[in-house]
Structure 1
Amino acid sequence: MSEFKPPLKRYRRDDEETDSDNDYVPYVPVRERKKQELLKLGRLSKLKEDSGKKVKSSSDEFDDDENEGQVWGRKSNISLLDQHTELKKLAEAKKESEMEKQLKEEEKILESVAEKKALMGVAELAKGIQYDDPIKTSWKAPRYILTMPEDRHENVRRKLRILVEGEDIPPPLKSFREMKLNKGIMAGLAQKGIKKPTPIQIQGIPTVLSGRDMIGIAFTGSGKTLVFVLPLLMFCLEQELKLPFKPNEGPYGLIICPSRELAKQTFDIINHYMTYLERGNYPSLRSCLAIGGIPVFESLDVIKRGVHIMVATPGRLMDMLDKKMINLDICRYLCMDEADRMIDMGFEEDVRTIFSFFQGQRQTLLFSATMPKKIQNFARSALVKPITINVGRAGAASMNVIQEVEYVKQEAKVVYLLECLKKTMPPVLIFAEKKQDVDAIHEYLLLKGVEAVAIHGGKDQEERSKSVDAFRKGHKDVLVATDVASKGLDFEEIQHVINYDMPDDVENYVHRIGRTGRSGKTGIATTFINKANDESVLLDLKHLLIEARQTVPLFLAELESENEKYLQLGDERGCSYCGGLGHRITDCPKLEAIQTKQASNIGRRDYLANNAADY
């Protein structure tokens, strides 16, 4: 049996010897401890002293060193108003840091998708050729304008809401006479009833006449076409007077358009002013149209006599350059109308190839109503000291268009069209996304006795041209079309645009409704939407309506974005990739769709290449 051993007794002296001074914990009353726990759990406030001043209440005087400078809970010696102000400052500081993170993330995305050398030829890139100075021209602004102070020019721009970026910006000129335009051109303007320049022309025409590269952004129907057509006519006339063009020489100026209809319209405008130049006893200038759907020999007949100006679509132009039907050896003037749409439509490789055919420096102009930051960025990197002229926000809808958005079920759209047609007198333009919808609407309207014509990419060029001409001349009341008619086409007296369906891209919406409300007139745009539409596009539409001070219907007003607080960061609104106001680039559906398409094409291209190798 083991002997019982009593436990060793510990004396206070032993405790004092073994415990160190650092382990000393003072007694805190239970009530005080509970109070501290509740305050920490509730986190009523957590303030950091700015100037090293440390506020400590009686309950905090035994806190650890780590908690110095922090005050937990409500303080009896600080008023509630002061506490609220401090909390607000902290919240704003936190919000700013979140916004900085968001902006940095967006910059990375934009850099990764931006094509910085799309407007440079392959040969120039390979040789490292870079032009530092703009092309010099013989044109100068009137002397009395040049002697005016810069403040005067800024005041003119401010009043007309013209935003300009760049070096050595030419002064704005408020009359065609000050621009020193030819008498024949002035007669052509008078015949069209154009008496004074629009804001984009006031700053744009002097810029182009000065030989500067330019990015022009303005509302649809603001007169952008004349900004590049009139200076080009002046340059060509000067060249012809100095040394007449010989056979097979030219073109001196090249205008590229994304659609055949827009190219034909630009060609007709150029011919109008050329006619008036001839009537003024000036040397005759020659222009040719190079688009798909018309015989090539019609263009070659003009080229053989020497051509001054060529208006073309990318596909036909590429074909003629590859077959050496034309050359760009003396071409010194290039304009890309609706430039952003051309890039979006997949002509980017074609544009780069076209640039490779130039033999020297050229003056490059880009124009559009919707030009997101991604297009502007790579344009600035490739152009020579470009001047960006912006009248209104890029991608904004015209303020002269009354926008009406109506909820219409898919099956009721065709029937409701007849009700919408009663809103105004003809002519009326109806847009649909799909070719089969265009044909169905056209057939339905004809059955109901409406004088209508239709165009889309599936119809041959002769039929498309006849339909557009009949509508333009007033022989037909309604034109039904896909987006081939939305880019830059100008129809006089058009009063009403109907969007049979909301496009997948808000940029297309802006271009569509811009067919009315042109040249200072007022128009109406009616858009059908329903549950089939993507929410991100509807959010863009909602914010576009708010910006244009239009009535926002209840079903749109109720839509809320998850990142509503990030829709405007600094001076930039909405998405910098597509220009939509209802989302940021981090949530851009268009960018996501393009990236998905590119990813799928990589695999498909490899597959096709392997199959080609087998055969």
Structure 2
Amino acid sequence: MAGIEPVKRYRRELAEEEPEVTRTEEADDYEEYIPIKKRRLLEAEQRLSRLGKVAGPLAPAEQAAFLENACDAGGTSDAGPPQARVKESLLISTAKARKGQPEESEAEKRLKEEAEILRAITQRTALKSVKELAKGVTYTQRMATGWKPPLAIRRMSEEEAQELEAKNIRRPTPIQMQGLPTILSGRDMIGVAFTGSGKTLVFALPLIMLALQEELRMPLIKDEGPLGMIICPSRELARQTHEVITGYTQSLHKAGYPDLKTLLCIGGIDMKQQTDTMRSGVHMVSATPGRLKDMLGKKRLNLDICKYLCLDEADRMVDMGFEEDIREIMSYFKGQRQTLMFSATMPMKIKAFAESALVDPVTVNVGRAGAANLDVIQEVEYVKQEAKLVYLLECLQKTAPPVLIFAEKTKDVDDIHEYLLVKGVEAVAVHGGKDQEERTASIDAFKAGQKDVLVATDVASKGLDFPDIQHVINFDMPDEIENYVHRIGRTGRCGKTGIATTFINKNQSESILLDLKHLLKEAKQRIPPVLHALHDPLEELEAAATASGTKGCAFCGGLGHRMADCPKLASQTRQEARGKKDYFGAGGFGGEM
């Protein structure tokens, strides 16, 4: 064999003789990949073989029939290969689910998108106390009051009952007829009714009755109380509520009933004076969140026996950033309380969120939440910015005084006030930049008829009662349609009619003007040509929105846009991203107004 040269072999020849062994094939646990189609056929063959229905592999025609049936129907019978039960892939299931379904329209897609946005907004921490959230405390049963009218009231004659006419109350309003029995039965309640409909009496009267009943059973002692309280977003509204309650308690005291003590708990008042009132025991409290939280934290006030809580203008308090303050205040309650929420504008996002704080609540709706008072004649006029002050004097001639003028910014309020004084008009001004004493004096002078005109920001638009006002002038259109509804609601109260004149120009956004246009249309008011000319993108969504039961924006209540295009939602999102919140609606940041 020596001298014989070995035959040279090439890689190609070696490959043809013996396949190359890979590392994967050398592994003991290697399993050959079998396509899903082949796996299904093997499973069917094994199943049928066990059942004795077929021996050996399926014929090609049977394989084709089996695969077609598996993709279309999934197989539910064991009668033969086409009906064999197999697992369905996710892609096939999705394709089958979509098969035969009509394609969604653009309007339906937008409505689904809005539902997702609303769901994300309402999935917030419940409006309960921190202690209840931490311990998982949940109340399922309403509070039992056992209340019934005192015997003396039940025996009262018709003539004696009509003495309420001194307060110009001759017949209950719809919100009073539905709300009073609900509250007196102990139920939690969300009350929504237009401005000037008498909501204050609905929650004030049951509180007075509760305090009177408890005082007759067991009089309060030193440092005890309150039995119930009403929280308001502004000092002026809290003070007005306090005056309403005090008026009724004084009348009861004159009639021989026990003296019910009330406390006004707001900023701008000496805390020592409030503490002195509390020392002898107090039955009812009207408060703003900031001062109330301060007094509770300093233990100058306690809620040990308090079981009645009302949030007036509840949606505005949440919008103004008082949500955490209210949650902290609720932590001072020692047990279950009856909770009430009232407002003229209660968008769906606030209503859904508010229900988290209530137990089996009753919702009383008088008209659409956010609708304008139909007793107000709304007039909208296009006025250039530089001509507003001059035209304002002409508008003041429409009706006799008193007249209320609203402006968006504090600087505009001061400019209007100064201009009117120069022109010889008896006017006063109110805004968040003035101290409490000056604000109180201005409103008192205006209510007493000593001044003809009150110029104010939105601090005077929430809930304040000016029964004799015939005319409200919006020097500029507010940025939110909710503020517009509250502003014009200062007139046309208690069944009277009033006029609201609003100046608009190119400075207003098209979104707020569309909201105004739809609000005028809903109230059957005259729509000026400048609003008629606006392009309305909601026309294409009107049919779909009506079918779904939604109308306008669920976030702010505006009728001229949908929630996906809501400027208020976009503004709040930007502010939350910056870690700030505009509480005043005019570029200022602060707490209690």
Same fold judged by TM-score > 0.5? Answer: yes
Change (3 A) 1:599 1:185: farther
CA distance in 2, matches of 1:212, 1:477: 43
Q: TM-score, normalised by structure 2?
A: 0.77
CA distance in 2, matches of 1:445, 1:489: 23
Partner of 1:113: 121
CA distance in 2, matches of 1:95, 1:178: 65
Equivalence map 1:217-366=2 (5 Å): 217-366=192-341
> Does 2:181 match 1:206?
yes
CA distance in 1, matches of 2:293, 2:529: 49
Cα contact 2:228–2:307 (8 A) shared by 1: yes
Change (3 A) 1:269 1:185: farther
Q: Quick one: which amino acid aligns to residue 147 of structure 2?
A: W
1:595 corresponds, among 566, 570, 573, to 573
Q: Determine helix, strand or coil for the equivalent of 1:597.
A: helix
Q: Determine helix, strand or coil for the equivalent of 1:402.
A: strand
Shift in Å, 1:96: 6.6
Q: Quick one: which amino acid aligns to residue 129 of structure 1?
A: V
> Does 2:505 match 1:530?
yes
Partner of 2:541: 566
Q: Determine helix, strand or coil for the equivalent of 2:374.
A: coil
Partner of 2:108: 100
CA distance in 1, matches of 2:146, 2:182: 13
Shift in Å, 1:118: 4.2
Q: Quick one: which amino acid aligns to residue 576 of structure 1?
A: A
Change (3 A) 1:194 1:517: same
CA distance in 1, matches of 2:351, 2:140: 19
CA distance in 2, matches of 1:274, 1:446: 39
Partner of 1:130: 138
CA distance in 2, matches of 1:595, 1:434: 22
Q: Quick one: which amino acid aligns to residue 135 of structure 2?
A: K
Q: Determine helix, strand or coil for the equivalent of 2:327.
A: helix
2:515 corresponds, among 540, 550, 560, to 540
Deviation larger for 437-446 or 378-387 = 378-387
> Does 2:586 match 1:578?
no
Partner of 1:551: 526
1:213-255 deviations in whole A, cap 9, x for unaligned?
0000001000000000001101111111111111111111110
Partner of 2:32: none
Cα contact 1:188–1:276 (8 A) shared by 2: no
Structure 1: tracts of 5 or more residues without a match: 1-92, 143-176, 604-615
Cα contact 1:182–1:234 (8 A) shared by 2: no
Change (3 A) 1:514 1:457: same
Shift in Å, 1:195: 1.8
CA distance in 1, matches of 2:155, 2:291: 35
Cα contact 1:217–1:370 (8 A) shared by 2: yes
Equivalence map 1:78-89=2 (5 Å): none
CA distance in 2, matches of 1:183, 1:236: 25
Q: Determine helix, strand or coil for the equivalent of 1:139.
A: coil
1:336-375 deviations in whole A, cap 9, x for unaligned?
0000011111111111111111111000000000000011
Cα contact 1:184–1:277 (8 A) shared by 2: no
Cα contact 1:99–1:569 (8 A) shared by 2: no
Q: Determine helix, strand or coil for the equivalent of 2:365.
A: strand
CA distance in 2, matches of 1:394, 1:366: 13
CA distance in 2, matches of 1:386, 1:446: 50
Max Rg structure: 2
Deviation larger for 438-447 or 190-199 = 190-199
Q: Quick one: which amino acid aligns to residue 264 of structure 1?
A: R
Q: Determine helix, strand or coil for the equivalent of 1:528.
A: strand
Shift in Å, 1:187: 7.3
1:470 corresponds, among 429, 445, 458, to 445
Change (3 A) 1:390 1:186: same
Q: Quick one: which amino acid aligns to residue 133 of structure 1?
A: Q
CA distance in 1, matches of 2:156, 2:200: 16
CA distance in 2, matches of 1:180, 1:105: 58
CA distance in 2, matches of 1:358, 1:180: 37
CA distance in 2, matches of 1:223, 1:214: 16
Q: Quick one: which amino acid aligns to residue 261 of structure 1?
A: E
Shift in Å, 1:560: 1.8
CA distance in 2, matches of 1:503, 1:445: 22
Change (3 A) 1:407 1:277: same
Deviation larger for 185-194 or 496-505 = 185-194
Change (3 A) 1:94 1:579: farther
2:412 corresponds, among 437, 459, 480, to 437
CA distance in 1, matches of 2:156, 2:357: 29
1:127-169 deviations in whole A, cap 9, x for unaligned?
1100001110112599xxxxxxxxxxxxxxxxxxxxxxxxxxx
Equivalence map 1:388-399=2 (5 Å): 388-399=363-374
Q: Determine helix, strand or coil for the equivalent of 2:187.
A: coil
CA distance in 2, matches of 1:295, 1:249: 21
The percent of aligned pairs where both chains have the same amino acid is 63
Deviation larger for 98-107 or 455-464 = 98-107
Shift in Å, 1:115: 5.3
Cα contact 2:188–2:358 (8 A) shared by 1: yes
CA distance in 2, matches of 1:187, 1:564: 51
Cα contact 1:185–1:277 (8 A) shared by 2: no
Structure 2: tracts of 5 or more residues without a match: 1-100, 582-593
CA distance in 2, matches of 1:133, 1:537: 43
1:397-447 deviations in whole A, cap 9, x for unaligned?
000000000000111101110000011110000000111100000000000
Cα contact 1:498–1:526 (8 A) shared by 2: yes
1:537-596 deviations in whole A, cap 9, x for unaligned?
000000000000000001101112334322545222100000000011111100000001
Shift in Å, 1:183: 11
Q: Determine helix, strand or coil for the equivalent of 1:573.
A: coil
Equivalence map 1:409-428=2 (5 Å): 409-428=384-403
Q: TM-score, normalised by structure 1?
A: 0.75
Partner of 1:6: none
The alignment yields a C-alpha RMSD, in angstroms, of 2.3
CA distance in 2, matches of 1:396, 1:576: 13
CA distance in 2, matches of 1:310, 1:182: 32
Cα contact 1:184–1:273 (8 A) shared by 2: no
Change (3 A) 1:234 1:124: same
Shift in Å, 1:316: 0.6
Cα contact 2:401–2:453 (8 A) shared by 1: yes
Partner of 1:486: 461
Q: Determine helix, strand or coil for the equivalent of 2:377.
A: strand
Change (3 A) 1:178 1:248: closer
> Does 2:428 match 1:449?
no
1:294-353 deviations in whole A, cap 9, x for unaligned?
111222122101111000001111111111111111110000000001111111111111
Q: Quick one: which amino acid aligns to residue 146 of structure 2?
A: S
CA distance in 2, matches of 1:535, 1:98: 23
Q: Quick one: which amino acid aligns to residue 341 of structure 2?
A: L
Shift in Å, 1:382: 2.5
CA distance in 2, matches of 1:311, 1:553: 42
Change (3 A) 1:186 1:308: farther
CA distance in 1, matches of 2:159, 2:293: 33
